[in-house]
Structure 1
Amino acid sequence: MSNQTTIDRLRVLLAALDPSTDLTGDEAALLGRLATHFVVPATDNMWLALAVLHAEFPTHDQVVDGIRRIRLDGAASVLKQVAHSPVRRGLFGLHPVRPVRVVTGATFVDVHHTARTGLATGIQRVVRKTIEQWSQSHDLLLVGWGSAFGALRELSEQERANALYGTHPNAESEGVAEVTVPWRSTYILPELAVEAERTARISALAEFSGNASYVIGFDCVPLTSAETTGLGMGGAFAKNLAAVARFDKVATISGAAALEYRGWRRMLAGAGLTGPEIEPVLLPADAGTVTAAELESAKESLVMDELPLLLCVGSHEPRKNHLAVLSAAELLWREGHEFCLSFVGGNSWGGQAFTTQLEQMQERGRPVQTISAISDALLWGGYRAAACTAFPSLNEGFGLPVAESLAVGTPVVTSDFGSMKEICEQGGAVLVDPRDDAALAAGIALAMFDPEVNQRLRDEAARRENKDWNDYATEVWEYFHKSS
């Protein structure tokens, strides 16, 4: 790090701590002025100093160590050591020296994964719909992380477009990105962060930086249904919760998710922690849009042999319980019911048993298929083309396919507990025990093949009061920003 770069960063730090201060003079003069802000070393000032002088957000231990060193050796000496210490080594050697800026009074929205992925999972859909609404009414600083998850940076134009609309999957940052440090600002995490380096630095930001910190809470499935999650997810999710424990507020996507998060928060008392405020803000039931041509195209893709369509939306991970759907369908086919079954959703970990069973049923001539390339037109056309949908998940933070199917007026067969039951309180669904294949088959038969029941469910779905994404985004924003 050159001497000029050191002086520049000292000035950036001093200007953030005291905007009216004199920024002239040499390094010694700047260190002397900075030292006055650390006479009684505060954790927020220490966090900021490390973030600016290292161009990298500190971890918990680094902040605590900095405070201890200042108490022993004095602020000027420690700040000089920090300013001249080498940058962290990454996987490919020393990180390049990056410019740093401090931003005050802004709303930082961390969408690192959503900005770069081509996935359109439930979480990505929630993130994109929410920040799209926020961006129309509020000034947002959409940010992600560097390759080593050392610090926040503003998104490139392609990343921003992908975060908002999913139009540029695998987007990359442009060149050596400027480190962007929030100070007396708001930090919002609307997606799930599980990368160890990222969560370690988010945790310290929430605990020490003095910024307001808010997060959308999707579920605690890796804790409550650990047997249904992939190897390693439990540990990664635990690191996420360790960071969330330091946040100010969590807006869960359902009452069921709030129940899980509040149970976790009660456990924090054993570590002497209070944890965040937790309130449910239910996701909307969006009806989407589809043209007549798109509807016909969806029917061509999803309906086989002009049979009534049973639609199942979601990835094929074990928690979604798609093996039970296959078993229930086989029971119904053997009883003589005529229908076709289409799964719409991507493959995922643990889906091999589903794929094997599906292929065996296809070899026996059963009208069943899976389609992984999902477009909005196919999704919303499929909901409208279906006689009913099935979503017998074993645990969901919300269950978007349940809400979406009901929003377009198509009956649902879903689980009789948790968020799925919560979504169906206004009617339109048959609730079943998802662990009982015979009960699931009976529920599908009732919703799909009994004309009176099917019509009653459709009438109930049509009378539902559904909020839209603007309603949801507004509720979350207002909850985050209201005084506790």
Structure 2
Amino acid sequence: MKVLIDLQVAQTGTNPEAGKYALALSKAAAQEVGENGELLVLLNGSLEATIDELRAELEGFIKQENIRVWYAPDGMGSICDGNPSLRKVAAHTREAVIAEQEPDLVILPSLWLGWADEAVISFDYEPPGCPIATILPGESFHGPQKELEQGRRGEWHRSLLEKLSRADFVLDVPGLSEPELCNGIPDTNRVRWPSAEADQLVEALQVSVRSLLGEARSEKNGFAEKVMRSLNLDGVKPKLAFVSPLPPEKTGIGYYSAELLPELAHYYDIDVVVDQEQVSDEWIESNCTIRSVEWFWKHGLEYDRVVYQFGNSRFHAHMWDLIEKIPGVAVIHDFYLGDAVAYREDGAGKGLALPRELYLSHGYDALKPIITDGDRAEAIRLYPCSYSPIREAKGVIVHSNHARDLAREWYGDTVADTFEVIPHLRVLPERHPEEKQAARQRLGIAEDAFLICSFGVVNKSKLNHRLYSAWCDSRVANDPNARIVFVGETPDAYGQRLRSEIEGSSYSNRISFTGWADSETFQDYLAAADVAVQLRTNSRGETSGTVLDCMANGLATICNAHGSFAEVPDSGVWKLEDRFEEEDLITALDTLWSDHTRREQLGVDGREQIVKSYSPEFCSNRYFEAIEQAYSQHRRSRLNVIKTASEVLDSAMQHEVLAACIGNSLPVSTPQRQLLVDVTVVAREDLRTGVQRVVRSILSQLLDMDLPGYRIEPVYTNPSMDGFFYARQFTQEFMGGEHSVLPDEPMEAHTGDIFLGLDLHGDGIAAQCGYLEGLRDRGVKVVFVVHDLLPVTHPHWFPGPEEQTFENWLSCITKFDGAICVSQTTADELEKWMVSRNVERKRPYRIGVAHNGADIRQSVPSMGLPEDAEQVLAQIEAKPSFLMVGTVEPRKGVTQVLDAFEHLWQQGKDYSLVLVGKRGWNIEDLADRLENHPEKGSRLFWLQGISDEYLERTYAASTCLIAGSEGEGFGLPLIEAAQQEIPILARDIPVFREVAGAHAEYFTADTAQQLSASIDGWLNGYKMQRYPDSKGMPFLTWRGSCEKYLDFMLQ
């Protein structure tokens, strides 16, 4: 049972006591609903100051993702002095949000809200299709009685009493409720409890909730039946638009629809909507009005019900646009719809339709074949590409549990659980003994022939070659009167190869192919055949009516238990295993050839199963139930809100306010939750710093990982923006695409999504802090990566404004859910900073640690060597060379290291110093000294902006990594050196000890002379093989680092 509680009474502050009891009611409901149900809490996002506090209060009682937030339009105000039009839109929005949750019970702890605050309570516009419960109010809920009796407030009070009388359940809680307000409330709607003292009210609420849920459960089915009975009480059939191809179009769905429509007409007054020149079915022409797609665009919203028949062919390409604007029930015949979407792009002029649908349905993974190889066929083969019609539909019908299982696999339980499974209907034809002979005469088949037919397009998924192979080894092949006919087209190379092989064999005169068979020819073969063989592999959720055709015509049918075939009753077919052995198929062929009685009985049993489970009468009744259920649930409520708003709002400014309200309250859903990864700096300009290397590496791993239930969405912002944008153009280039096929668009986040602040841009995040708090309020988990705290722990190393910028950034990120630190040292420093700044939080702040990865080749390495690279590398390798890696800035200790090497050079030591890193801030004097040094190009090298390929070569050419930095967040060069088995001489600071442990030699040096002694001493030990070996240093790959990120975020 799914229960939703509206907790606005705990947000307004106007009735603190009522708010307290409403919270107690919510906690009691959470315990009563338990694991076998689901409790949702609804909050008003316009009362944002209370949201985080209420989330904290409910922590441990319900999942954070079950707290849903809706937003009223800005400027709405209260009932007393607000904007009535905006309040009407707000009421529609709130009820649409409730309807989309599809609860079984809605609990409104108080109706007496909104007079002097921005709460909105109603159940007038968008009936949720479920019972409503409220508490019979007392003074703690509605205020002093005498204030409710006069003027506009009196009118408001009386309207609420009327609503109270319409509630399905009214909780009469002694000590909270006023009995005199019971007038007009049917006794059957009231739920009473024994009297309770004031200090027992919380306990009384717990008892009341238990009783309420018990009564609601018992009435749940009855309520649904009441909704169904309320339909068509006046005897007038609802007007239904049936959107489908129809005969004579060459599509099985057209003929399926022609069989369904006469039975569906018992329930609806039907117009058919077609994108074709003519309809050849006599019943449809006589009983239905035939409408064009163009006419339907103008009049589609006038229908009571709309049903779309979706299939994977060009005949359905127009339906994508229609269902978006004119929602209805979608019948999905083929779960994989990529071919139809491709036709929309090629034949219907819908540019980029395929990449857009692939991206919407499956994320960037599905785009890879197109943007990297230009291989549309591979993308269509691999991905269903079917989410748009599912998302836009009011309800979805499929014909097999297999199709629903595919939906569960690709789009998750929430989507799959909305699917209704209705068998693929078949009309049971009358059978007359003479029909078989007549059909054989028309087809030119001998009366004494033993005829095996395989119906449908000849392609690899139909396993036609397995039938031929089994035939060749069977006894039936030795019967000169035995024949096989493949009744269907051979459109691709597979079919052509099989046909050529058979035509070159000794069976060429007994095995034939018909090509496309019209309806009359198809029916003749059904009547003429003795046995049908229908095999399948690599099912893509398609509905195959051919097995049912064979059963309906009394044919002994062999099939394998693959996809939807597995659901065909065993008694009606000879069913092989999904991955059957050829010997089993041979046995089935030989048995049915030799045993006339067995063959006849299998045909009889098949017809019985059609009558029982696939008849038009049975299926049309299921259709009616599914359609009415879908329309009672008020899915696609977003459109209703927009329609209402367009009627009551009259200014462009108000429409802009509405767009934000609807976008935040009813965001366009994706089939997976989003992991929103901030890549702002890298997307704008990759500075190739250590932070950007982390960003590139983690993003690369995320995009390459299989993360069930989530899609990776890189995003970006800048201080002038309000919010974030999807970084689609950047991501497509990052993945190796030569051109972008998707544009950047504003980001929309949903409850259950995760925002990962991976890139570092303090000003940008500080500017978006309010926006990010809005994400947190509506259930998005917000986590940041902390690379170091050096600007606040050592501000003298950074430009003047940097300390305050970093303080602002830290103040912002610690308002959210947690931080992933690149080292334990950084994590400890973050905890100390939070204590020192007295950071106050309502919910715990989690801090995790994930070391950076060390495999350069997996960090999306840049490639390329300058012309002089080989010469420089030879010079480095020619003598003992000490390598420093990192941006040249004050904290890196470059000045002291350079002083130490100058001291060594003065002593006649022939060592080289190699610096790899771009120029940083506050190093004007040092940069000038390096650029003009007499040893430059001889024993001093400064390689700026080099590729990762060049860096890797430089590591290999060097003798030792010298890590002279006085402060770091991690120390990635230490691990990279270890990967190259380069020894390490590092300054003795905590983070280097954490990273390298016993695999490095450490120095402390306050002067250049002390450091030069350490360098010289290390090299002497190196010559005598006495130095710590870096080879065994533990490290994470970028994949391992990424997995730690995910472990933290998904907890």
User: What residue number does 2:519 align with?
Assistant: none
Q: Which moved more, 1:434-443 or 1:216-225?
A: 434-443
TM-score, normalised relative to structure 2: 0.36
Label 1:271 to 1:179 Cα distance change in 2 as closer, same or farther (>3 A): closer
* Per-residue deviation, residues 67-109 of structure 1 (Å, max 9, x unmatched): xx99635559xx9899945979xxxxxxxxx998545632111
Q: 2:823 aligns with which of 254, 269, 272?
A: 254
C-alpha separation in 2, matches of 1:103 and 1:228 = 46
SS of the residue 1:142 aligns to: strand
Q: Which runs of 5+ in 1 are unaligned?
A: 1-12, 19-25, 40-68, 89-97
Aligned position for 2:752: 184
For residue 47 of structure 1, what is the aligned residue in structure 2?
none
What's the secondary structure of 1:140's corresponding residue? strand
Larger Rg computed on CA atoms: 2
Q: One-letter code of the match for 1:403? A: I
Q: Which residue of 1 aligns with 2:704?
A: 136
- In structure 2, the partner of 1:400 is 972
Q: Does 1:109 align with 2:677?
A: yes
Report whether the alignment pairs 1:379 with 2:951: yes
Tell me the SS of whatever aligns to 2:961: strand
SS in 2 for 1:462: coil
- Per-residue CA deviations over 1:203-236 (Å, capped at 9, x if unaligned) read 5246533211112111111111111012211111
The alignment-based identity, stated in percent, is 21
- Aligned mate of 1:194, from 762, 766, 769: 762
In the alignment, the residues of structure 1 paired with residue 982 and residue 97 of structure 2 have an alpha-carbon distance, to the nearest angstrom, of: 63
In the alignment, is residue 440 of structure 1 matched against residue 1008 of structure 2?
A: no
- The answer (yes or no) to whether the contact 1:183–1:211 under 8 Å persists in 2 is yes
Aligned residue in 2 for 1:4: none
The CA deviation string for residues 160-189 of structure 1, in whole angstroms up to 9 with x for no partner, is 146668x99xx9998773343343311111
Query: For each residue in 1:29-64, what CA deviation from the matched residue of structure 2 results, as whole angstroms up to 9, or x when unmatched?
Result: 54322355999xxxxxxxxxxxxxxxxxxxxxxxxx
Contact persistence 1:199–1:239 (CA under 8 A): no
1:344 to 2:916 alignment: yes
Mapped to 2, the partners of 1:296 and 1:447 lie a distance apart of 33
1:156 alignment partner in structure 2: 728
Task: Work out whether residues 193 and 199 of structure 1, in 8 Å CA contact, stay in contact via their aligned partners in 2.
Answer: no
When structure 1 is superposed on structure 2, of 241-250 and 254-263 the one drifting more is 241-250
SS in 1 for 2:755: strand
1:298-309 to 2 correspondence within 5 Å?
298=869, 300-304=871-875, 306-309=878-881
> What pairs with 1:297-376 in structure 2 (closer than 5 Å)?
298=869, 300-304=871-875, 306-362=878-934, 367-376=939-948
The offset of 1:347, in angstroms, is 0.7
Tell me the CA shift for residue 436 of structure 1: 3.3
CA distance 1:227–1:179, shift in 2 (3 Å): same
CA distance in 1, matches of 2:896, 2:911: 17
The one-letter code matched in structure 2 to 1:341 is: L
SS in structure 2 of the partner of residue 337 of structure 1: coil
Partner of 2:704, secondary structure, is helix
Please give the per-residue CA displacement for 1:126-160, whole angstroms capped at 9, x wherever unaligned.
Answer: 11111211112232011112672311221132x11
Per-residue CA deviation, residues 281-307 of structure 1 (Å, 9 max, x unaligned), is 2223336599xx979975523453833
Q: Is the 8 A contact 1:298 1:382 kept in 2?
A: no
- SS of the counterpart of 1:118? coil
Q: CA deviation at 1:425?
A: 0.5
Aligned pairs (5 A) from 1:1-12: none
What is the SS of the residue equivalent to 1:269?
coil
Q: Which amino acid aligns with 1:210?
A: G
Answer yes or no: is the 8 Å Cα contact 1:388–1:411 preserved in 2.
Answer: yes
The within-5 A match list for 1:459-478 is 460-478=1029-1047
Cα deviations across residues 217-268 of structure 1 (Å, max 9, x unaligned)?
Answer: 1111111111101221111111211221122121111111111111112235
Contact kept, 8 Å, 2:882 with 2:962, in 1: the verdict is yes
On the 8 A contact 1:310/1:389 being kept in 2, the answer is yes
Evaluate the alpha carbon distance shift between residue 382 and residue 176 of structure 1 in structure 2; reply closer, same or farther with a 3 A threshold.
closer
Contiguous gaps of at least 5 residues in structure 2: 1-44, 46-67, 71-84, 99-113, 122-644
> More deviation in 350-359 or 274-283?
274-283
* Deviation larger for 437-446 or 356-365: 356-365
Query: Which amino acid counterpart does residue 260 of structure 1 have in structure 2?
Result: E
Change beyond 3 A, Cα 1:200–1:479? closer
Q: Is the 8 Å Cα contact of residues 728 and 743 (structure 2) preserved in structure 1?
A: no
Separation in 2, partners of 1:83, 1:314: 52
1:66 corresponds in structure 2 to: none
Find the aligned partners of 2:778 and 2:718 in 1 and give their Cα distance. Answer: 19
Equivalent-residue separation in structure 2 for 1:364 and 1:162 (angstroms): 38
Output the CA distance in 1 between the equivalents of 2:723 and 2:650: 20
Whether contact under 8 Å (1:295, 1:377) holds in the other structure is no
CA RMSD of aligned residues (A): 4.0
How far has the Cα of 1:111 moved from its partner? 1.2
Query: How far off its partner does 1:383 sit?
Result: 0.7
Ranked by relative contact order (alpha carbons within 8 Å, sequence separation 6 or more), the top structure is: 1
How far residue 278 of structure 1 moved from its aligned partner, in angstroms, is 1.0
In the alignment, is the contact (CA less than 8 A) between 1:129 and 1:164 conserved in 2? no
Distance 2:935 2:976 in 1: 32
Deviations 1:351-380 (A, max 9, x none): 212112224532799621211121111111
CA 1:363–1:251 in 2, change beyond 3 Å: closer, same or farther?
closer
- Report SS of the residue matched to 1:324: helix
Q: Partner of 2:284 in structure 1? A: none
Return the TM-score normalized by structure 1: 0.74
Q: Which residue of 1 aligns with 2:785?
A: 216
5 Å matches for 1:68-83? 72-75=117-120
Shift of 1:469: 0.9
In structure 1, the residue corresponding to 2:915 is in which secondary structure? strand
Bigger CA drift: 372-381 or 265-274? Answer: 265-274
Distance 1:238 1:263, change over 3 A: same
Cα distance, 1:338 vs. partner? 0.3
CA distance in 2, matches of 1:440, 1:70: 75
Does the 8 Å contact 1:133/1:473 carry over to 2?
A: yes
With over 3 angstroms needed to count, the CA separation of the structure-2 counterparts of 1:407 and 1:147, relative to structure 1, is: same
Q: Quick one: structure 1 residues 301 and 85, their matched pair in 2 at CA, closer, same or farther if it must change by over 3 Å?
A: farther
Q: 1:192 to 1:202 in 2, by over 3 A?
A: farther
Q: Which digits, 9 at most, give the CA deviation of each residue in 1:427-455, with x for residues without a partner?
A: 1x2211254323322222233344345x4
Instruction: Give yes or no for contact 2:726–2:744 (8 Å, CA) kept in 1.
Output: no
Is the Cα contact below 8 Å between 2:701 and 2:1038 reproduced in 1? Answer: yes
- Aligned pairs for 1:202-241 within 5 A: 203-205=772-774, 207-241=776-810
Is the Cα contact below 8 Å between 1:255 and 1:280 reproduced in 2? yes
Distance 2:989 2:650 in 1: 57
Alpha-carbon deviation of 1:412?
Answer: 1.6
- Check conservation: 1:388, 1:447, Cα contact below 8 A: no
Query: Could you say what secondary structure the match of 1:181 adopts?
Result: coil
Of stretches 222-231 and 111-120 in structure 1, the one that deviates more from structure 2 is 111-120
Question: Could you tell me how far apart the structure 2 residues matched to 1:71 and 1:192 are?
Answer: 43
Deviates more, 1:132-141 or 1:434-443: 434-443
Q: Secondary structure at the match of 1:463?
A: coil
Contact residue 217 and residue 253 of structure 1 kept, 8 A? yes
Pick from 676, 687, 692: which aligns with 1:119?
Answer: 687
